[in-house]
Amino acid sequence: MSDRTSAAAATTNGAVEATVEAYVATWNETDVARRQARIAQAWADSGRYRDPLMGSTGHGEIDAMLAAVQARFPGFVLKRTSKVDCHNDAVRFTWSLGPASGPSVVEGVDFGTLTPEGKLATIVGFIDKMPAA
């Protein structure tokens, strides 16, 4: 790989990491205006989120989904628990959700696709650890 290619790849990865950091922040930001600003930073306008339990499409639905999760599980924090692994227009990372201190309650992995502008077009979450119903 040439130095030029390496530099371009490093820049790209940095941009993807910034998008993922903004995405993680959307889960934890309870101030409505700041959460919506983070959603606009992370997601394309038509962004589409799906996991086994929830789904939302577009900034408004994504914001309402996150507000509902925060209301249901006050004090829970989403933490990224792996590196940001990306290639082509795809990204993956693992995460945990639970109280700020103490063991996680839910764990999983998010697979995302990115627009040419580097925003999230899709996130599909899969669950690796979940409390029994």
Q: Which residue ranges make up the site for a copy of itself (CB under 8 A)?
A: 50-52, 55, 85, 87-88, 90, 92, 109, 111, 113, 124, 126
Which of residues 79 and 92 has its CB atom nearest to a copy of itself in the complex? 92
Least Å distance between CB 126 and a copy of itself? 5
Least Å distance between CB 122 and a copy of itself? 9
Which of residues 27 and 49 has its CB atom nearest to a copy of itself in the complex? 49
Which of residues 14 and 55 has its CB atom nearest to a copy of itself in the complex? 55
**Distance (Å, whole) CA 121 – CA 47:** 5
Which of residues 26 and 122 has its CB atom nearest to a copy of itself in the complex? 122
**Distance (Å, whole) CA 4 – CA 24:** 30
| Identity of residue 74 | P
Which of residues 32 and 126 has its CB atom nearest to a copy of itself in the complex? 126
Q: Which residues contact 50 (CB under 8 A, 6 or more apart)?
A: 122, 123, 124, 125
Question: Do residues 16 and 91 touch, judged by C-beta distance below 8 A?
Answer: yes
Least Å distance between CB 42 and a copy of itself? 19
**Distance (Å, whole) CA 56 – CA 47:** 8
**Which of 50, 31, 51, 34 lies closest to 42, judged by CA?**
34
The token pair at 69 is 């999760």
Least Å distance between CB 5 and a copy of itself? 14
Least Å distance between CB 111 and a copy of itself? 4
